[in-house]
Structure 1
């Protein structure tokens, strides 16, 4: 069992006892890959204990819905740790986001105990720690943990902190190999479907991807796992050169090759598992992978179908959003047609589009605006903190927001979007200016 700080271990064991002693639980979880993976771990743990539970997915913290849990023990998963207004419920927070409110519930956020919730532990990490404190045999939920870690990009550049500890402690049972980070039936399909990394002119371009592989002297229909060592090296070199030509952010280069775990019992690799979790969640089918992990094997084919359709929609959205991109000073702004595509669109543009070099905010308009902001590691090093910028701006216009320095989101009232953008632009300018020791707005 992975060791953590003593005070964190004490809190994990206290939460484990609360679950073992409880009778009925309401799990509320976020819909992205980390939220879905965390929900899988929590649901499987409760099912194995013979506990009654009900799982719901939310876009963001919704106190009115959460209060409907009544006398049940509430578990809040990947929804943030700011829970003001929920003082009268009994519950556990399984989360890793930046927070500022006083702890009124049993908060397992690793940030409380000195860990970096952006790089070293996500919500799936916390759920896995909790589950293995309840029963160490729950280590077989490692695939879900890895799916969540990949979903929050905490594998990019190598595992760190608690994540590294878990991976290292279970290395014999779940070994990893360095592989090309592509998914698809063939090498050219993998490039065509790739969005992280995103290859300009190849991703979303079936003929372009096929021609690219043929130009390397490789059969484009060859399965990725059947590539010979020299063929893999040739593909990696060519794709890396492509990213250099695009002048991508430095983390973009770290995604071409990554640690891949193969899970024979699931019939999936870790990167494909993440894709299925993410696509299902962002298509409103969050319960599908949960039911699959709990025994509904028929769900796998539906997840495959959802992923294929979702990836094509995401690639089309990136191209469309690039044409809508506008520079407002310290931030780039664009728009999406689907709220579930806001995050992946902002991230792809921020990392893989050379002319950007600024944080990207993608907005979805409905009765209100859904906001997703993404930055790069270099921008964060320069002082950018999207959690604070989006949080401050959203609250100023009557909305809410938060997350991480490198990735954050929120919701704001319709009609207040330009005011919101002016405030975000100003705050980010101040952040960068303060980091440089100068004023820049």
Structure 2
């Protein structure tokens, strides 16, 4: 098979052959949007190939979780969106004969290996920007093709990549871009240059523009009345039955008029050119989904998924990935409402409380005020808001249990280009204080003892300084 990422053909094929030879597979996956789409892709491919499987999810793959996985007594365990960083722990079970691991992941591998391991980092590709966990699972699905070539699953792979923050204003790159091309060819995706704001499918226009906090246009961003005045001055009919339309409802000429007016306002207000450029970018549309719904846009789809498993309803997220547009989608929308409130309250708390600024990084300790499952999302949203610089990575702490803190770190792609690698920072700093962690250059996480927060910050600050020197 020649897949969309030739560098990983051999690894994907080896993993597929092992899966195809298995009588039963346990599919174990992470709980974020990338993990859920990874599981959705793998589950669809396994079902189409007639391979019996069960599914389990975990927010962290550690020694205890692996012991639980071993009790399933499945001959093959397929790990998606995690596993590479836990190769040493997995090897213990493999050597004991508990199961044969097949790993489709994109995180930094531990200092060990296994026979069936598909990871872009092993072939010199960037796992933080060129291929997500869902993308790696997609390669497995393509190699496992039976009556179908599984190209329709490219849409889920793109949702996973977007949800994993791999898309910049210019869109997805590298191996991800090759998957986009397959999705377009299969008729399940469209890639367009459009307004690059969250909520183009579902938010009424005033709210869509009011929430342009990343751009910061005076008189529009964060200004409800100013936004209404701006829209009323455009000489466009932007209401239908007295209700504001959404961006997805506008035709091409109407969109051009709004964007042009936004750019003029931003320029006149002195908004930096790089922020103005961020008003538009590459967006991804799932053409099989109903227009005006959360699942039509890859970014909004990923947020729906984040609102499920992070609140212990991975079953709902997986059902949506597998096509349930009734009960599961209704449940997800309810969870999404709670998720948005939690994010809003968390962001408000961070903005009101502020952050501690070290020489090379900034940080906050949310304690039990923000759930550990979403503190990383809040940290990423906080970057660039008032008093929180985008010139330093941000480190967030939240209570995980009575003895441990969850650490979530976020940077920017500009900092990564200067040398930032949060995976290395977090892994080294956590190890130095008796914890463990890893992830990607632009985003990483860890678990550390509660009484080691300041020591972790000191180690991390020094390491970031060395990287950016």
Q: What is the TM-score normalised by the length of structure 1?
A: 0.88
Partner of residue 301, structure 1: 330
Is the counterpart of residue 384 in structure 1 residue 420 in structure 2?
A: yes
Q: 1:13 to 1:328 in 2, by over 3 A?
A: same
Checking the alignment, whether the CA contact within 8 Å between 2:37 and 2:156 is kept in structure 1 is: yes
Question: How far 1:402 sits from its partner (Å)?
Answer: 0.8
Is the counterpart of residue 74 in structure 1 residue 62 in structure 2?
A: no
Checking the alignment, whether the CA contact within 8 Å between 1:143 and 1:263 is kept in structure 2 is: no
Which of residues 250, 264, 268 in structure 1 aligns to 2:288?
264
Partner of residue 162, structure 2: 150
Q: 1:411 to 1:97 in 2, by over 3 A?
A: same
Is the counterpart of residue 349 in structure 1 residue 382 in structure 2?
A: yes
Checking the alignment, whether the CA contact within 8 Å between 1:77 and 1:94 is kept in structure 2 is: yes
Structure 2 unaligned blocks of 5 or more: 95-99
Q: 1:379 to 1:239 in 2, by over 3 A?
A: farther
Is the counterpart of residue 224 in structure 1 residue 222 in structure 2?
A: no
Which of residues 82, 88, 94 in structure 1 aligns to 2:104?
94
Q: Distance between the aligned counterparts of 2:374 and 2:273, measured in 1?
A: 21
Which of residues 307, 318, 321 in structure 1 aligns to 2:347?
318
Which of residues 135, 156, 168 in structure 2 aligns to 1:125?
135
RMSD of aligned Cα (Å)? 2.9
Checking the alignment, whether the CA contact within 8 Å between 1:92 and 1:106 is kept in structure 2 is: yes
1:384-403 to structure 2, matched below 5 A, reads 384-403=420-439
1:352-367 to structure 2, matched below 5 A, reads 355-356=388-389, 357-366=391-400, 367=402
Is the counterpart of residue 115 in structure 1 residue 144 in structure 2?
A: no
Helix, strand or coil: the match of 2:90?
coil
Q: Distance between the aligned counterparts of 1:200 and 1:369, measured in 2?
A: 38
Partner of residue 233, structure 1: 256
Question: How far 1:226 sits from its partner (Å)?
Answer: 2.3
Partner of residue 139, structure 1: 151
Is the counterpart of residue 370 in structure 1 residue 424 in structure 2?
A: no
Q: Distance between the aligned counterparts of 1:228 and 1:347, measured in 2?
A: 32
Question: How far 1:246 sits from its partner (Å)?
Answer: 9.5
Q: Distance between the aligned counterparts of 1:59 and 1:242, measured in 2?
A: 43
1:10-29 to structure 2, matched below 5 A, reads 10-29=10-29
Question: How far 1:109 sits from its partner (Å)?
Answer: 0.5
Helix, strand or coil: the match of 1:258?
strand
Q: Distance between the aligned counterparts of 2:264 and 2:107, measured in 1?
A: 35
Partner of residue 305, structure 2: 277
Question: How far 1:346 sits from its partner (Å)?
Answer: 1.7
Q: Distance between the aligned counterparts of 2:337 and 2:262, measured in 1?
A: 22
